[in-house]
Amino acid sequence: MKTTERLLSATKDIWAAYNENPFVKGIQDGTLEQAKFKYYIIQDYLYLEEYTKVFALGIAKAKSPETIQLFSRYVTLLTEGEMDIHRGYMGKFSVSREELEATPRSLDNLSYTSYMLRVAYEEGEAEILAAILSCAYSYEVIAKKIVENNPLAQDHPFYGDWVRGYANPHYGEANVLLLEMTDRLTLHYTEQQVRHLEDIFVACSRYELAFWEMAWNMSK
């Protein structure tokens, strides 16, 4: 079994819960209160600022030009692609730069990003990939499941941009590279090393679920 298959197998119940979360269901059927989505989009933007730093640390820890290129590509994807989706929504909500900078990260947000940054500072390139993969790949899985459950979700006048952004094949192509590199770097990992990767991946997957719950409850 490939390392990524083991990681996903270890978290299948957690990942199944993503699309059952009322926040995600609200995006799927278009009934989510926009106030909740505004809270989420601001918190997620603040999250992405820290998340991008994890990839940047991956560049510093990389041991090959291929891995450097992979981490670098994702930094570009985040800053010029994913964060643009968020900027678009913040424009719709008339969120100023001042309001954004004055908004503190929620406790769940702070805990999650602090954990990933700790992994990035203390561990190697494969462990960094394990930490970032749950966010990067789960958004694709969630968006595609939303479209599967409700094909009209991608055409919703408000939430359609979000759904299309993460269900986009270009976003999925970047994730294929993350998955393949994780398997490649861990090809000769010992059982103990793979279990450690599982611990990281499970923790981050749990943080992802907590993030959706945080968004639904608008927790501080």
Q: Which two tokens stand for residue 85?
A: 């989706």
C-alpha distance from residue 99 to each of 36, 55, 102, 103, 214 (Å): 16, 26, 5, 6, 20
- CA gyration radius, the chain: 17
Cα distance between residue 195 and residue 187, in whole Å: 14
Q: Which two tokens stand for residue 11?
A: 């978290």
C-alpha distance from residue 121 to each of 54, 143, 184, 199 (Å): 8, 31, 21, 17
Q: Are 149 and 143 in contact (CB under 8 A)?
A: no
Cα distance between residue 45 and residue 138, in whole Å: 17
Among the listed residues 82, 135, 140, 204, the single catalytic one is 135
Q: Is 80 an active-site residue?
A: no
Closest CA to 178 of 143, 138, 129: 129
Q: Is 204 an active-site residue?
A: no
Positions annotated as catalytic residues are 135, 208
